[in-house]
Amino acid sequence: MGRRKGELTPNAVDRGWPHQISLPEDACCGEHHATVLEFNRTLSVAPRGHAFFRDDRWHNVFCFAERADAEKFLARFGGEWFDPSTRGRGNRWQLLKPAKPRRYYRG
């Protein structure tokens, strides 16, 4: 499957907006959608986010360029920090994989 010209790739979103917060879909869609959009108007939110499926429900991920903006969003709507390295790839994009342990240089 090819990419569309001009569309942000998931890797570009992760590089430009590394501070990511996930919310259950029912907390940010439907009647809450307008409230979330209005709150994000002044924040450094990415033009697109992504979603994943966990615990029998969908979660939307909001990506921010500034950590302070992500913390404001977290304080207002709740949710949790999201690690982009756990996002699925290919045709399993919506499923999470276990986080890789971080390796530290010991020199």
pLDDT given at position 99: 64
For residue 73, pLDDT over 60 is answered with yes
pTM: 0.80
Average pLDDT over residues 71-85: 91
3-state secondary structure the chain: CCCCCCCCCHHHHHHHCCEEEEEEHHHHCHHHHHHHHHHHCCCCECCCCEEEEECCEEEEEEEECCHHHHHHHHHHHCCEECCHHHECCHHHCCEECCCCCCCCCCC
Confidence of residue 106 (pLDDT cuts 50, 70, 90): low
Residue ranges of domains in the chain, CATH in brackets: 16-84 (3.30.70)
**Better-scored residue on pLDDT, 101 or 87:** 87
Q: Which of 14-18, 36-40, 83-87 has the lowest mean pLDDT?
A: 83-87
Confidence of residue 75 (pLDDT cuts 50, 70, 90): very high
